[in-house]
Amino acid sequence: MIRVLLADDEAMIRSALAALLRLEPDIDVIAECADGTEALARAIELRPDVCLLDLEMPGLDGVEVAAAVRKKVSSRCIVVTRHARPGVLRRALASGVAGFLPKSRGADEVAEVIRRVAAGGRYVDPEVAADALSDERCPLTDRELDVLRAGRRGETTGQIARALSLAPGTVRNHVSAILGKLQVGTRQQAVLLAEERGWI
């Protein structure tokens, strides 16, 4: 029996998918979680074979949960998302995710991916993989990415500077370079674009 932890902040989707997966003869959904923080705590407690994680959840997102689970338990993780962006796929794979698929897949397909991952295999949705291969590389430097990460929740220039041990003027210079490279008008737009492409 494959023991599965399911995490999705949308209650209807979570309960419907759990009910459908429980119809499979070899899959047991042992936990249903409403956010990333709960998913991580329950994964550590229950040590499921597979964690099926929604990408976009409050607190920790699916990729962050997967990265933390990988460090603490032997559970394998699958990330599902409504917006299967190529950059997010790269971030997921870098975090050790074993499966990646869009939410548009049916429960029978999800069950097959769970079986494959539980058996030690990997699965990436072919369309997402094709898009990822043709997607552009990140034009930002590591330090510029650090600045975006440190300010992704609206932190001030001073807060970013303190977090990265930089002078506020240096942070402003980095932000100016970021906006120019990404051709956006605000730091928040830059954060959204970088998240969408999976750069941060």
CATH says 2-133 is which class? Answer: alpha beta
Nearest alpha carbon to residue 36 among 95, 122, 109? 95
- Residue 108 exposed, middle or buried by CB count within 10 Å (0-12, 13-18, 19+): exposed
- Domains of the chain, residue spans: 2-133, 142-197
Among 44-53, 82-91, 124-133, 145-154, the range with the most confident prediction by mean pLDDT is 44-53
- Rounded distance between C-alpha atoms, residue 132 and residue 127, angstroms: 9
Pinpoint the alpha helices (H) of the chain: 11-22, 36-46, 62-72, 86-94, 107-118, 126-134, 142-150, 157-164, 168-182, 187-197
pLDDT in tens, 18-42: 999 999 999 999 999 999 999 999 9
- pTM tops 0.95: no
Average pLDDT, the chain: 91
pLDDT at 7 over 90: yes
pLDDT at res. 128: 75
Structure tokens given for 149 = 């990460």
Q: Which of 77-86, 104-113, 116-125, 180-189 has the lowest mean pLDDT?
A: 77-86
Please compute the mean of the pLDDT values over residues 126-153 and round it to a whole number: 82
Q: Under CATH, to which class is 142-197 assigned?
A: mainly alpha
pLDDT at 187: 94
pLDDT tens column, 106-136? 999 999 999 999 999 999 988 778 766 666 6
